[in-house]
Chain A
Amino acid sequence: MSQYGFYFDKEKCVGCRACEVACQVWNEAVQTVKWRNVTCLTRGTYPEVAGVNASLACMHCAESPCKKACPRTAISKNEETGAVTVDRTRCVGCMLCLWTCPFGAPQMGEMGRMEKCTFCEERPVGVIKRACEEICPQQAIVSGTIEELILRSKQVAAERLSWDARTEVVLGHEEE
């Protein structure tokens, strides 16, 4: 079994929400229920303002708290991809999955059943991108197996070093 997941680059996300809508369009979801959601935060006082834009969907956790919490065993984990999905014919809409999810990922759908990211289950993994990933103008979202994503984050860090003229850099504190 593989475990697939999302890599998200906060340096690239501009909070445009194209991922939210691509998810809704591909998955024929209604416009008000968001399987992927972008949160934009700012703090500080003008002009000393900082913030982050974060596009988050289900993390398809290895040990999924939602799956454990569901009293109807409506949530299952795909053997091949690790994707966590809801069987809407078994769900009764009790929302226990939402309350236990540390990311607030499962959403109440219009029919009173829970809905969530399916990792675009129709799209073959490792062959084409997920809808959110395909549309993202900045390519801030990348999907892959956890091993691929870990490798990727190391490569991204190394790439930064390769363009830095200085001989010694404390990564993450380059500007200091």
Chain B
Amino acid sequence: MSQQTTREIINGIRGTKTVPGVCMICPWHCPTENFVKDGRIEYVRGNEYAANRTTRCVKGISSIHSSRDKDRLLYPMKRNSAGVHERISWDQALTEIAGRLKKIKDEFGPESLVSLFHLDSNEMFTHQLFGHLYGSPNLSGHGAACDQDRRLAALSTFAHPLPVKDYANSRFVMLWGADPFGPNEALHENRELLEAMKRGCRLIVVDPNRSRTAEKAHIWLPIKPGTDGALALAIAHRIVETQSYDKSFCDEWVHGLAEFSEHVLSNGYTPQWAEGITGIAKETIIAVADEFAATKPALMDGLKGLVNYTTGLDALRTVFALNVITGNIDGPGNLILKEMSPLGFPLEIPEEEATIPEKPPIAYGMGYPLAPDLPTQLLPKAVLEDDPYPVKALFFHVCNPAMSDPNTRLFEKMMAAVELSVTVDIYMSETAQLSEYVLPEASTYERAEVRESMWAGPQTVLAQPAIAPLGESRPYYEIIKGLAEKMGYGAYFAWDSWEDWARTCTAYLPVPYEELKEKGVWEGELRYRKYNTDGVPTSTGKFEVYSTMFEEMGYHPLPVFNEEHRVKPDADYPFQLVNCKMQYHCGTHTQNNPYLMAIVGENYVEINSLDAARLDVREGDLVEVASPHARATIRVRTSEAVQPGVARVPHGHGFGRRFGSIARGRGTHINPLFETRANPVSGGISFNECKVKITKA
């Protein structure tokens, strides 16, 4: 018995077979195990060979429903002249789309295709077909609606877009506007952080909301919304003033400490100054700064609570600079500059066959040359006004900007005007409803996937199809193969099954393919302080607290606290609207899940009970939330965890959702209330730059 793995024991009990998979609920993509019997997924859990071990979050375990959901897209559809989607054959869909893409390329150039994706699933096929072969530079993830500011801040400081966290070895963790214990993040980090805390690691959380993470913190700093940048600069001021940075590390590895020090001192970013802005007492700021500087290893990181404001980019640059000047980078217990597995592309395309775009990505022409991802909220300008150049085709892959971007009406106008729109999804999302062609994708249970996990070291996940695709749905790689054949690129897609290209992708891994297939994951060595051997790929070869990249592009090379783009509450609109995430749902694609809908069936506006009393509303009452742009009716939740003056609305529900029988009509779509506001450098959407008033409905 003890020789058996727990997989084998479960298979013995249930008569199932284990097929390794990957969770596609959120972009952290935890490795999983699916237990299959007679073409049905019986049970799911985490992959015991991966960092998350057998664990799943509530959304992950609930996602078993998507392998059975009768409401999924089952066949290709095309919108007819009456605006109704009708079933068509795959052959018709692929022939027509391929023909029109070719025509658009001939007339307007390959740059006029924009391909957007959210979950980065099998996106290497997008890059090879629409990038290498077709030649569009406009391929982008959903970063603008997500972690755009963090990515740019990390790129400018570390020349690495996605630092991850080594909580397991940390002694001091400070999280800014990030709630890993609540909505999401890489799941193994939750366990590692709590275990580190049992060993005496300190947790400090900066968040106006008493989040799930704030609940667990030793110190919670209930900051005024959008002012994190001032707090971070004040901590920097204290560290510079007391010279408690890591001098020998800075001498060797940091570019611009002198300029950074001069900047925070001469601008008077003192704890006293920050107290008036942030609402955090100067004594507390000093105590936290001193503890951070004195404790090693330490790490500081931030996410949505910062990037949702126009002040977020500089706040994150300061937070990352604090890691760097105290020598807390890429060592055990620090932010880790994750090394990727040596994965190859699935197709071999000779260099001379690649199409080189003549125009730069549209973000350049939109005034965001440093934007890591395309600022999707600005697409309507390109489509409707040909600015900076014409965009004629939009190709969406499991991404739903109709729900997730601000200014929904403008998005609808763009979708009506664009020449060709295609959405590939497993559900009839709001973006699919507005698209001309809708192609049904096989769910994560029905397709293969080769990808990098979010563990701190290199780790490859090989997810495998556990059951046959529902209806006529197809895995993305087969959709792209079909499209490529119709476009005349069939020669490069000459594989018979997913295993052929999966072997090509994983050929460089130091593990036999069969072993990778059996376990579903391969884990490399987690190397620390890689800069010692590999250097830092910034132009100065050092970590930059004075950004040469920003300087070259004409931006301020040092982080400032600039509130000129903030939309603050006033007498007419007294509430700060916070567009937040829910612990029990993810984005816009879990609202047809019966497990999750039984936990929270609709979204709500959450306000402090003191504000509720002032407005004379009670838990469950309907209220009208109005911004200067639009209004929406929604139910109230009262909470002691919410800062007075703040109205929190989780997004994802509502919009008269048609995508499934459980989702339909539940909740309120809040995004029409937001006007399009973005960080002026990164182009990341500033969802929280919105003031509202609340009245009893």
Residue numbers of A with Cβ under 8 A of B are: 11-12, 14-18, 20-22, 24-26, 31-32, 42-47, 49, 51, 53, 122-124, 127-129, 134-139, 156, 159-160, 163-165, 175
With an 8 A cutoff between CB atoms, is B531 at the interface? no
Q: Contact between B210 and A46 (Cβ–Cβ < 8 Å)?
A: yes
Mark contacts of B607-651 with chain A using CB atoms, 8 A cut-off: 1 yes-contact digit, 0 otherwise.
Answer: 010100000000000000000000000000001111110000000
Q: How far apart sit A140 and B190, CA to CA, in the bound complex (Å)?
A: 11
Interchain residue pairs A-B with the least CB separation, the first 8: A163-B200, A14-B181, A47-B222, A18-B58, A31-B594, A31-B598, A137-B55, A163-B199
Given A31-B598, A136-B55, residue A26 in contact with residue B215 (CB < 8 A):
no
With an 8 A cutoff between CB atoms, is B498 at the interface? no
Nearest-CB distance from B25 to chain A (Å)? 12
Give B221's nearest chain A residue, CB to CB.
A47
> Pick the contact of B57 from A18, A44, A139 — CB < 8 Å?
A18
Segment at the A interface, from B5-13, B88-96, B321-329: B5-13
Give B213's nearest chain A residue, CB to CB.
A14
Segment at the A interface, from B60-68, B242-250, B534-542: B60-68
Nearest-CB distance from B45 to chain A (Å)? 6
Q: How far apart sit A11 and B201, CA to CA, in the bound complex (Å)?
A: 14
Interface centre among B194, B212, B643 (most CB of A within 10 A): B194
Q: How far apart sit A46 and B643, CA to CA, in the bound complex (Å)?
A: 7
Give A139's nearest chain B residue, CB to CB.
B191
Q: How far apart sit A95 and B423, CA to CA, in the bound complex (Å)?
A: 51
Given A138-B190, A159-B198, residue A17 in contact with residue B642 (CB < 8 A):
no
Given A46-B640, A135-B54, residue A127 in contact with residue B222 (CB < 8 A):
no
Q: What B residues does A17 contact at CB under 8 A?
A: 58, 584, 599
Q: Contact between B190 and A137 (Cβ–Cβ < 8 Å)?
A: yes
Q: How far apart sit A175 and B202, CA to CA, in the bound complex (Å)?
A: 12
Given A46-B643, A127-B1, A159-B198, residue A137 in contact with residue B210 (CB < 8 A):
no
Q: What A residues does B56 contact at CB under 8 A?
A: 18, 22, 135, 137
With an 8 A cutoff between CB atoms, is B289 at the interface? no
With an 8 A cutoff between CB atoms, is B172 at the interface? no
Q: Contact between B9 and A124 (Cβ–Cβ < 8 Å)?
A: yes
Given A16-B583, A128-B9, A136-B55, residue A49 in contact with residue B640 (CB < 8 A):
yes
Nearest-CB distance from B467 to chain A (Å)? 16
Q: How far apart sit A73 and B197, CA to CA, in the bound complex (Å)?
A: 47
Q: What B residues does A124 contact at CB under 8 A?
A: 1, 9
Q: Contact between A137 and B57 (Cβ–Cβ < 8 Å)?
A: yes
Q: What B residues does A138 contact at CB under 8 A?
A: 190-191, 194
Q: What B residues does A136 contact at CB under 8 A?
A: 55
Mark out the residues of chain B between 215 and 241 whose CB falls within 8 Å of any chain A CB in the assembled complex: 215-216, 218, 220, 222
Give B1's nearest chain A residue, CB to CB.
A127
With an 8 A cutoff between CB atoms, is B595 at the interface? yes
With an 8 A cutoff between CB atoms, is B285 at the interface? no
Q: What B residues does A31 contact at CB under 8 A?
A: 594-595, 597-598
Nearest-CB distance from B606 to chain A (Å)? 12
Q: Contact between A15 and B212 (Cβ–Cβ < 8 Å)?
A: yes
Known: A16-B583, A21-B62, A139-B191. 6 other contacts (CB 8 A): A12-B194, A14-B215, A17-B599, A22-B45, A136-B55, A163-B199
Q: What A residues does B9 contact at CB under 8 A?
A: 123-124, 127-128
Q: Contact between A129 and B194 (Cβ–Cβ < 8 Å)?
A: no
Nearest-CB distance from B536 to chain A (Å)? 33
Q: What A residues does B55 contact at CB under 8 A?
A: 18, 134-137, 139
Q: How far apart sit A156 and B46, CA to CA, in the bound complex (Å)?
A: 25
Mark contacts of B285-310 with chain A using CB atoms, 8 A cut-off: 1 yes-contact digit, 0 otherwise.
Answer: 00000000000000000000000000
With an 8 A cutoff between CB atoms, is B43 at the interface? yes
User: What are 7 A-B pairs at a CB distance below 8 A?
Assistant: A25-B64, A46-B640, A138-B194, A159-B198, A160-B198, A165-B200, A175-B218
With an 8 A cutoff between CB atoms, is B439 at the interface? no
Q: How far apart sit A156 and B194, CA to CA, in the bound complex (Å)?
A: 13
Q: How far apart sit A128 and B14, CA to CA, in the bound complex (Å)?
A: 14
Q: What B residues does A53 contact at CB under 8 A?
A: 215
Q: Contact between B194 and A134 (Cβ–Cβ < 8 Å)?
A: no
Mark contacts of B43-54 with chain A using CB atoms, 8 A cut-off: 1 yes-contact digit, 0 otherwise.
Answer: 111100000101
Given A21-B62, A31-B595, residue A14 in contact with residue B644 (CB < 8 A):
no
Interface centre among B57, B60, B218 (most CB of A within 10 A): B57
Q: How far apart sit A85 and B608, CA to CA, in the bound complex (Å)?
A: 43
Q: What A residues does B583 contact at CB under 8 A?
A: 15-16
Interface centre among B58, B187, B210 (most CB of A within 10 A): B58
Nearest-CB distance from A99 to chain B (Å)? 24
With an 8 A cutoff between CB atoms, is B344 at the interface? no
Q: What A residues does B1 contact at CB under 8 A?
A: 124, 127
Give A136's nearest chain B residue, CB to CB.
B55
Q: Contact between B13 and A122 (Cβ–Cβ < 8 Å)?
A: yes
> Pick the contact of B13 from A14, A24, A46, A123 — CB < 8 Å?
A123
Nearest-CB distance from B473 to chain A (Å)? 23
Q: Contact between A18 and B194 (Cβ–Cβ < 8 Å)?
A: no
With an 8 A cutoff between CB atoms, is B182 at the interface? yes
Q: How far apart sit A72 and B54, CA to CA, in the bound complex (Å)?
A: 39
Q: What A residues does B218 contact at CB under 8 A?
A: 175
Q: What B residues does A22 contact at CB under 8 A?
A: 45, 56, 61
Q: Contact between B640 and A45 (Cβ–Cβ < 8 Å)?
A: yes
Q: Contact between A47 and B598 (Cβ–Cβ < 8 Å)?
A: no
Nearest-CB distance from A14 to chain B (Å)? 4
Q: How far apart sit A97 and B57, CA to CA, in the bound complex (Å)?
A: 32
Q: Contact between B641 and A49 (Cβ–Cβ < 8 Å)?
A: yes
Q: What B residues does A49 contact at CB under 8 A?
A: 210, 640-641
Q: How far apart sit A37 and B323, CA to CA, in the bound complex (Å)?
A: 40
Q: What B residues does A15 contact at CB under 8 A?
A: 212, 583
Given A14-B190, A46-B210, A47-B220, residue A25 in contact with residue B44 (CB < 8 A):
yes
Q: What B residues does A127 contact at CB under 8 A?
A: 1, 9
Q: How far apart sit A31 and B594, CA to CA, in the bound complex (Å)?
A: 7
Q: What B residues does A139 contact at CB under 8 A?
A: 55, 191
Q: How far apart sit A159 and B197, CA to CA, in the bound complex (Å)?
A: 11
Q: Contact between A11 and B194 (Cβ–Cβ < 8 Å)?
A: yes
Given A47-B222, A128-B10, residue A14 in contact with residue B187 (CB < 8 A):
no
Q: What B residues does A47 contact at CB under 8 A?
A: 210, 220, 222, 643
Mark contacts of B570-609 with chain A using CB atoms, 8 A cut-off: 1 yes-contact digit, 0 otherwise.
Answer: 0000000000000110000000001101110000000010
Q: What B residues does A122 contact at CB under 8 A?
A: 13-14
Given A16-B58, A18-B61, A124-B9, residue A46 in contact with residue B598 (CB < 8 A):
no
Q: How far apart sit A21 and B45, CA to CA, in the bound complex (Å)?
A: 11
Q: What B residues does A134 contact at CB under 8 A?
A: 6, 45, 54-55
> Pick the contact of A44 from B594, B598, B599, B640 — CB < 8 Å?
B640
Given A14-B182, A26-B43, residue A21 in contact with residue B641 (CB < 8 A):
no
Give B180's nearest chain A residue, CB to CB.
A14
Q: Contact between B61 and A25 (Cβ–Cβ < 8 Å)?
A: yes
Q: How far apart sit A32 and B594, CA to CA, in the bound complex (Å)?
A: 9
Nearest-CB distance from B212 to chain A (Å)? 5
Q: How far apart sit A12 and B221, CA to CA, in the bound complex (Å)?
A: 21
Q: Contact between B210 and A32 (Cβ–Cβ < 8 Å)?
A: no
Nearest-CB distance from A56 to chain B (Å)? 16
Nearest-CB distance from A54 to chain B (Å)? 13
Given A14-B182, A16-B583, residue A46 in contact with residue B644 (CB < 8 A):
yes
Q: How far apart sit A122 and B43, CA to CA, in the bound complex (Å)?
A: 14
Q: What A residues does B222 contact at CB under 8 A?
A: 46-47
